Structure 1
Amino acid sequence: MRPIYAIPLLLAASATAASAQTPPDVADLVGARGAGGETQLEARGYSFVTNNMVRDTKWSFWWSERQRQCISVATTDGRYAAINVVPAANCRAAAPDAAARPYGGDGQRVSLVCIGAGSGLATQSTSGYRYNRKSRKFESEYGTTLGREGFSSDIEIEIDGNAGRVHPSGKLVSPLHSGGTDGWWPITDLVVTPDQISGSYRMNGLNKPRIDYNRRTRIIRIHASTDFTGRCEEQ
């Protein structure tokens, strides 16, 4: 039985949620301008960890060593729209005790099973006749061309905090591949938000597929020499 990795689920930034989950020591910063808010967060003992963009909102993550607390800050139109407490695994890079736990820890376990279709490069045999001016006859001619071929396949993704892996199948696996273990490839450049999961994996030296999964529509897209679009069940 394969192990299931987990991913901490960040809380959506709604007005009600922000009010209920905003820590008291930074509640007054909601509505502040981003630059001034960063200065205040640092003055209050928070250390910047990372950030990413989701549509028009920038999500940044901050760790308080004194309070052993991780917070997410949503910035829209240059102002702090919401500040929420999130699982410590989101600040794993800044939390020494959390960093020592590569798997498990905070958050719920999530596994993606996706089914869809795509297209990939494929050679196609051609045949026909060509007129030979010297012999003044039509002669048979054979060759190969490079085109694209459609296929159906599935893919699994398992993630735990800052670590993740992907299990492609069928035509999603290149004839020449390396770096996988029992059909699983590690995900690099992993980014997880309430709306999106993205990253990439190295199938071989020239083929590094990009993963983009929309957690609201449950649509996944794999971009590489082989393109794939599918729908996922998130568990």
Structure 2
Amino acid sequence: MKAVAFTLAAMAASSSAVQAQTPGDIRDLVGARAAGAETAMQARGYMFVKTRTGDDRKYSYWWNARTRQCVTVATMDGRYDSITTSPAPDCNQRVNAPEYRDRGFQRPDARRESPSYAGERGSVQVSGNAVDLGLVCFGDGQRPGVATTYGWSWNSKRDRYDYGNRTEMTSQQFDASVMIQMWDGGGRISLPKKLIPPVHSRGSDGWWDLYDVEAGPDLIRAKYRLNGMNKPTITINRRSGQITIRGLDPYGFRGTCDLIDGDDHRRF
């Protein structure tokens, strides 16, 4: 049953899950036009923090000082496509003890400060290794791409401008999710097809072995080999749940992880 629960967790980005993560006081703004929705956000106590641009949508971050809640708004075609809760650091806010009290939360049990205590340890076995930590991480990534552009360029041989096309290397951005399993001294990562370059090695059914694994009380670091040149580094913040993956520019991934904790799928 736990193996089934782990598999189903990869589908956590469904629309129903997104809706459940939308704060009730702004849930009605999903689908609204961005211009009017921004005014409504401000009227309800949210302060705009920053914006970043994705492949087909924009992501804006809003902070509510009263509820100490950070939210991410995805805007697509001029409308609010989704509103989801985000960790406080996404809104440039520090996570501290008063935040738990202000929002009515109890401080986590001491054992939960580090997410490596995942349910019944050793209940999942991979190649004879007892999995201590299982994560599903959602976010966006980048990879090298090729684009054809059209325009005018100078032709020195003909002493004139010619109209034509040229092929350029670009950076492509996309939504993606990764899965991670870790055990004593090692682990593995499952990559979506968008994070697998045409030239790659060492992968097995979409999983890559982790090496140089360092599991500290606050950070987890590890590497995996895509090929002889590209050996991305994984960094996971165990308190905020944020993950970054950096390889040869522009290969990368940034997101937030959920802990697979037995039959209970939740943020750690």
TM-score (norm 2): 0.46
Alignment of 1:1-235 (within 5 A): 103-104=129-130, 109-130=132-153, 132=155, 138-225=161-248, 226-235=251-260
Question: Cα distance, 1:132 vs. partner?
Answer: 5.0
What per-residue deviation string (whole Å, max 9, x for no partner) do you get for residues 97-127 of structure 1?
xxxx9623xxx83201000012222112121
What per-residue deviation string (whole Å, max 9, x for no partner) do you get for residues 161-183 of structure 1?
11200101132111211101111
Stretches (4+) displaced over 3 A = 1-4, 130-138
Mapped to 2, the partners of 1:133 and 1:214 lie a distance apart of 54
Aligned partner of 1:103: which letter? Answer: N
- More displaced 10-residue stretch of structure 1: 175-184 or 118-127: 118-127
CA contact (8 A) 1:197 1:214 kept: yes
Provide the residue aligned with 2:29 in structure 1: none
Alignment coverage as a number of residue pairs: 136
CA contact (8 A) 1:102 1:163 kept: no
Q: Percent of aligned positions with the same letter in both sequences?
A: 32
Question: Cα distance, 1:211 vs. partner?
Answer: 0.4
Gap regions ≥5 residues in structure 2: 7-126, 261-268
What per-residue deviation string (whole Å, max 9, x for no partner) do you get for residues 54-103 of structure 1?
xxxxxxxxxxxxxxxxxxxxxxxxxxxxxxxxxxxxxxxxxxxxxxx962
Q: Which has the higher contact order (CA 8 A, sep 6+)?
A: 1
Question: Cα distance, 1:135 vs. partner?
Answer: 5.5
Helix, strand or coil for the counterpart of 1:204?
A: coil
CA RMSD in angstroms comes to 2.5
- The 1:133/1:2 distance shift into structure 2, 3 A limit, reads same
- The 1:182/1:2 distance shift into structure 2, 3 A limit, reads farther
Question: Cα distance, 1:137 vs. partner?
Answer: 5.8
Gap regions ≥5 residues in structure 1: 5-100
CA contact (8 A) 1:127 1:141 kept: yes
Mapped to 2, the partners of 1:136 and 1:121 lie a distance apart of 34
Helix, strand or coil for the counterpart of 2:194?
A: helix
- The 1:3/1:188 distance shift into structure 2, 3 A limit, reads farther
- The 1:130/1:174 distance shift into structure 2, 3 A limit, reads closer
CA contact (8 A) 2:132 2:184 kept: no
Aligned partner of 2:203: which letter? Answer: G
Aligned partner of 2:129: which letter? Answer: Y
